[in-house]
Structures are given as structure tokens and as C-alpha cells.
Structure 1
Amino acid sequence: MPKRGVLLVLKPLDVYPPIPAAQHLPNLAPSSSSPSPPFSALNPKIVSFLNDRLKVHKDTINLCQDVLRCKFVDWEPVICNNLCHPIRHVDLVITIGGDGTVLQASHFLDDSIPVLGVNSDPTQIKEVNELSNEFDAARSTGYLCAASAQNFEQVLDNILESYIQPSEISRLSIIVNGHPFPTYALNDILIAHPCPAMVSRFSFRISGYNGPRSSLSNTRSSGLRVSTAAGSTAAILSGGGSRMPISSRDLQYMVREPISPGPAEAPLMHGFVKPDQSIFVEWYSQEGVVYIDGCHVTQSLKFGDKIKISAKAPVLKLYLPQDLVRDHNPKSYRWPSVL
């Protein structure tokens, strides 16, 4: 049997600024000639918490690498921020970090290579409860991550033995002035002015390939967000949107903070787009940006640009967490223990 090729995509270790050990914190006396120190430098619990997050992430990387050394695979690590070319010639991509690392890796993948996300630093509910009155002790959500340090070897063995198969997750495509953007969004896109305090002016309508077009909505707002099913639990849900089944091929859109929409337009500020439909946007501000899956990938806009958004994009083959697999296709669910 030929060896499997694996690309290990790692969340950077420098996601937090250098933090001194709590016992080495300087004696920071107030001084009129020096700025106030950062809050984290004054609270040893926060310092300890952030240092522990970094340690847990490093330990997970080391554990996964040790497991891979014992398997019949060839593997190579790369920091996700260093990805710059489409990923080719491997059988599996494993991301170690959180959902953000999965998102970054997805921008370099078509529909031929499956992805396994490893949550390197899961949130500990007990820790959150104990520290909730002092600071936010949430760690990584890992909604799209099927593994953690505790079960990585079992999940990997199930993949190598073909006991489990990846799910096909919808992405969305963006075409600006007739030119397709080379990156597909796994979670969502936000079209907005680069300054969040500025008003975004644009018009949009929904149009099907064979069906009627919706009426044109002319809006002044904080921008337009469009999400996939996978992204429906993220920003659009926080803004008042709806959670969608992970298997849905629909898109969901929401106009953010519309300014005084009329009675006829108010119901159009939030809705869904079928797989055979597209959203057509005309941008009428001097500046604009399309933010793809956060802020790592962007596309600048200018007055008069035309944007087409649709689900006509290659799916991402992603190994989903067990609970999402059951919801996605319970009849085909298989997750046996590997001894």
C-alpha cells in the first residue's frame, strides 16, 4: 500500500504578543511620564491563562506529529500564514488550531482533497465558569473541527481505514465586474466600507437562472453579509440571522443596520438564496471591501463595481464533528473504535 501524503497546516505560535511569566512581571508603579501598562500585565490570572493557551496549542502540535510518525504516511508541516499557492499532491490536509485555521486552509483547496480540523485548544466549561467574573476564558470553539488531542489518533485511523468519509460543505463564489475571485468563502463574506463608521451605499437584487428577479433594494447601511450553511452559526447568527442545517446548499444574506428601510423594503433586508439563484450587488460608495471569511482575504471595490454572489463554487470535503455528521446524514454515520 503506498504511503499517504499529509499536509499539516498549523496555527501560528505568535497569535498572542510575548507575555512574561507572572512571577517576572515588573513592578509597574504609576508614573505621569509613562503610559499605563496593558491590563494583561497587571492581572497574573490573564497572563497565566494566555501562557497556558499557548502551551496547550504547542502540546497538541507535538502530539499530532508524534502520532503521524507512527503511521504509514508522509507528512510535512506548514504555518497557515505561509500558504501562498493552491494545495496539490497530497491525500489529506490536517489543520491544527481552530475554525480560523480550517478557513485559511480552505482558501487554497478545491474539491479534491479532504480536510480534517484538529481543535488544538478547546474551551473548558469549568474554567469559563470559574473565571467568568474576571475575564473571558473561552478558548477555541472548533465548530468545524472533528478532532482534538484526546481523539486525534482514533479519528485519523478511522480516516486511513476509510471507516468515515468527508462531508461536502457548500462554499460561495464572488465575481467582481465579470472576473471570478480565485478564493471561495467557506463561512461568509462581508461587503462594506473599509471604515466601519462610514455608511455603505449599494443596491442589490436576487435573481434566478430561470425564475423571476426580485425587486431592486437601494440601501444605506453598515454593509451586506452573505453566509453559507457552515457560516450561519457565526457572525450572521449573532446579527439576528438563522442557523441553517450544515447540509443546506442555500445562502443566507443580511443587510447590516439598514438606515430607515421603507415598509416594502424592510422584509428584504434578510433572506435566503436558493442554489439556482444569485445576489447581484452594485456598489455606490467611493470605497468598499469584500471581506472573505474574516479579514485575511479581501477584495477592494470602487464606485460602480458590480458583484455577483452565488453558491456556484466547488464544495469543500471536510470531516465533520460527530454531532454534525449525525445531523448531516444519520443513516450513513459510522464511527467505530479502532483498537
Structure 2
Amino acid sequence: MAIRKLLLLLKPIDPYPFLQTEGASLIKNPQVLQYLESRCKVHKNAIKFCQEILSKKPVEWKPISRNDLSHPIRDVDMVITVGGDGTLLHASHFIDDSVPVLGVNSDPTQAHEVEELSDQFDASRSTGHLCAATVENFEQVLDDILFGRVVPAKVSRISLKLNSETLLSHALNDILIAQPCPAAVSRFSFKIKNKDGASSPKTVNCRSSGLRICTAAGSTAAMQSAGGFVMPMLSRDLQFMVREPISPGSTASLMHSTFKPDQFMDVNWYSDHGTIYIDGCQVQHSVQLGDTIEISSDAPVLNVFLSHGISQIRSRSESSSSTRNHTWIHIIFIMKDFSENA
């Protein structure tokens, strides 16, 4: 399918408005202020650069603020996000499996900067694990897509049912089921079941800090930080881990594992209150005592242009020529909030 229409949310141009107020005086380290101002400048320059590239292409485009994105994205052929992984995560909650997405990392982490400032503060910027482009290669990646030299990867997402009702939000990275208060104990049980009706022989009863389930894409995020393992990006399996279990006993080995696409996890919640956190703080749903939660990989996949796929396909097609086709694109730059960890 030819790419003719595309959407984008530009991240707020001033992600740190307090820098323009008396709040900036509370920051005593001038290097921190310089760092924050640099992040703003780099992001603004990235937006300007992308717009300049687009103006040279036979396309039509229009920037829209992220705050204006409130409905499912329809009637477009592609979405471009400019920000980081958090920006792409935000966009994913408005996209089904019919619209591919390209992430542009507008402010990548600079290794030398992190090293130089390590004694002062954490100078990490955007990881961009899911972003296939930066300002360095945006034009080449865009051309590869427009002229059909690359195709998006089909990345799994998590489907959720709360008391048998399907939730509209699908997790691209992970979900966390826990008490609203992080210091409170979460009580729940779970069992892995096959979709044909069979189930695992043992119900796992838990008192812990909560339950995290991730996709392959999310296995490099919070799951890995908690001691989980990295999964192949295109795996359809889901990985789960009980957080900080209290006296797990004989069930300890059952509290961190995976389940297959033909299986689902059935969770019974036994605390008075709880929250399902979808992709960090992107989406939240409340749960209460007696609720049941069904977790599977039945959600529509997200079609994402990934950096390794683009580099592999480009290397195979460098010697081939492509016929240029004029295309029409309506673009929404997705602007990420710097308050995200992306």
C-alpha cells in the first residue's frame, strides 16, 4: 500500500515551563539548567529539521500538538512520532493494526555527556529503543518507507479483560497490577490456562508488591531492570514476574516465566483496591476485591518500523534503483512530554 497520508503530534515546545518562572531558581546546579535548556533546544531543532525535510518531499503535512490527540487515529496510512519511546507508546494507544508507525528519536542520549556529568546528575536523554530514526538518518529512512524499500515489523501487544469485559487499551510494553500505594501489599492469585480449556496444575497465591507482564518489546524496559530476560523482538510470548513476593515457598519457581500465544493468564485480585497500569502511567484502570483479570497476546499487533529491520533491508537494496512515485502525506508530529522517561 502506498503511503499517502500520515499523522504526527509535536511534543510541547516548552516541556519545562518552570524554567521561565521562579521555579528555576530552586535548581542550584547551573549544569542542570544548561542540560534542561539543551534538551529543549535539541528537540526544537529536531522538529524544525524534520519539517525542512518534509518540505522538500512531494507530500503535504501538518503538525498537531500531542494534547489534541484524543481519538483513535483513522483514515491515515502512517504515523510519525518525534520524541522518544514514551512518545511512540503514547501514539500506540490510538493506533490499530492497520496503521504503521515510525519513531524519530529527537533527543538521543549522548554517551560523552553522561560520562562527563556522572558525578553531578544523570544526564541521560532519550533511549529510543523503538525509534528507527534520528535527525541523522530521518530523510533516508523516510525515503526507504515512501518508496517501499522497507516494511514494518509486527510487534505484539497485551490484551486485557476485566471481569470478562475487554479493555480498549492495549499495552505495547507492559502492564503492572498493584496497589495504588507502592508500599502496600498486593494479594492475588493466578493460573496459566490454555485457550482450549486446559490449565496449569497449580494456582499461584501471592502476597507481593504486584504483578508485571511484558511483551517482547517491553522486555528491555522495567522487566529487565527487575531481573527479567530480554526476549526476541518479534516473539509473541508474554513474560511475567511477581514483584518482591513474601515467603513464596514452593511456588517461587512459578513466579517468573512466560506463556504462549495459545495461553492466557487468569488473575484473581484479593486486595480491597488495585490499579492496572498500562505502559507505565499511559493508561490506568481500577480494580477491587473479587475482580478477575485475563491477560493474553490477543491484542492487534502494532506495525512498527524498527531500526534493525531498516538497516538490514537497506543493505540488500543499496544497489537497486527505485522509481519515484509522488505521494501525499498528512503528518502529525507526536511531541513527547519530557516528564516521560523516554
TM-score (norm 1): 0.89
The whole-number CA distance in structure 1 between the counterparts of 2:76 and 2:138 is 19
Structure-2 change in CA distance of 1:163 and 1:260 (3 Å): same
The whole-number CA distance in structure 1 between the counterparts of 2:238 and 2:67 is 28
Question: Mean Cα displacement is larger for which, 211-220 or 200-209?
Answer: 211-220
Whether 1:177 and 2:163 are equivalent positions in the alignment is yes
* Contact 1:287–1:302 (Cα < 8 Å) also in 2: yes
Aligned-partner residue type, residue 157 of structure 1: D
- The Cα shift of 1:249 comes to 0.6
* Contact 1:80–1:101 (Cα < 8 Å) also in 2: no
* Consecutive unaligned residues in structure 2, runs of 5 or more: 323-342
Whether 1:67 and 2:88 are equivalent positions in the alignment is no
Match of 2:330 in 1: none
Q: Within 5 Å, which residues of 2 pair with 1:1-339?
A: 4-19=4-19, 38=26, 41-210=27-196, 212-214=198-200, 215-262=202-249, 264-322=250-308, 334=316, 336=318
Aligned-partner residue type, residue 11 of structure 1: K
Structure-2 change in CA distance of 1:48 and 1:331 (3 Å): closer
The whole-number CA distance in structure 2 between the counterparts of 1:159 and 1:247 is 20
* Contact 1:3–1:72 (Cα < 8 Å) also in 2: no
The whole-number CA distance in structure 1 between the counterparts of 2:317 and 2:46 is 22
The whole-number CA distance in structure 2 between the counterparts of 1:276 and 1:25 is 52
Structure-2 change in CA distance of 1:2 and 1:286 (3 Å): closer
Structure-2 change in CA distance of 1:236 and 1:3 (3 Å): closer
- The Cα shift of 1:211 comes to 6.6
* Contact 2:10–2:64 (Cα < 8 Å) also in 1: yes
Q: CA deviation digits over 1:8-48, x for unaligned, max 9?
A: 12233343342259xx999xxxxxxxxxx63xx21111100
Match of 1:30 in 2: none
Question: Mean Cα displacement is larger for which, 2-11 or 224-233?
Answer: 2-11
The whole-number CA distance in structure 1 between the counterparts of 2:87 and 2:298 is 23
The whole-number CA distance in structure 2 between the counterparts of 1:246 and 1:2 is 26
Q: CA deviation digits over 1:131-182, x for unaligned, max 9?
A: 1111111100000000001111110011000011100000010000111111
Aligned-partner residue type, residue 96 of structure 1: V
* Contact 2:3–2:78 (Cα < 8 Å) also in 1: no
Q: CA deviation digits over 1:283-330, x for unaligned, max 9?
A: 1111111000011211111111110000001110000012x667xxx6
Structure-2 change in CA distance of 1:314 and 1:194 (3 Å): same
Could you say which structure has the greater relative contact order, defined with CA pairs below 8 angstroms and 6 or more residues apart?
2
Aligned-partner residue type, residue 46 of structure 2: T
Aligned-partner residue type, residue 152 of structure 1: F
Q: CA deviation digits over 1:219-238, x for unaligned, max 9?
A: 11010000000000000100
Structure-2 change in CA distance of 1:204 and 1:73 (3 Å): same
The whole-number CA distance in structure 2 between the counterparts of 1:335 and 1:3 is 19
* Consecutive unaligned residues in structure 1, runs of 5 or more: 27-36
Give the % identical residues: 56
The whole-number CA distance in structure 2 between the counterparts of 1:167 and 1:253 is 23
Match of 1:33 in 2: none
Structure-2 change in CA distance of 1:159 and 1:49 (3 Å): same
Structure-2 change in CA distance of 1:332 and 1:252 (3 Å): farther
The whole-number CA distance in structure 2 between the counterparts of 1:311 and 1:111 is 13
Q: Which consecutive segments of 4 or more residues in structure 1 shift more than 4 A?
A: 330-335
- The Cα shift of 1:67 comes to 1.3
The whole-number CA distance in structure 2 between the counterparts of 1:314 and 1:255 is 26
- The Cα shift of 1:6 comes to 1.6
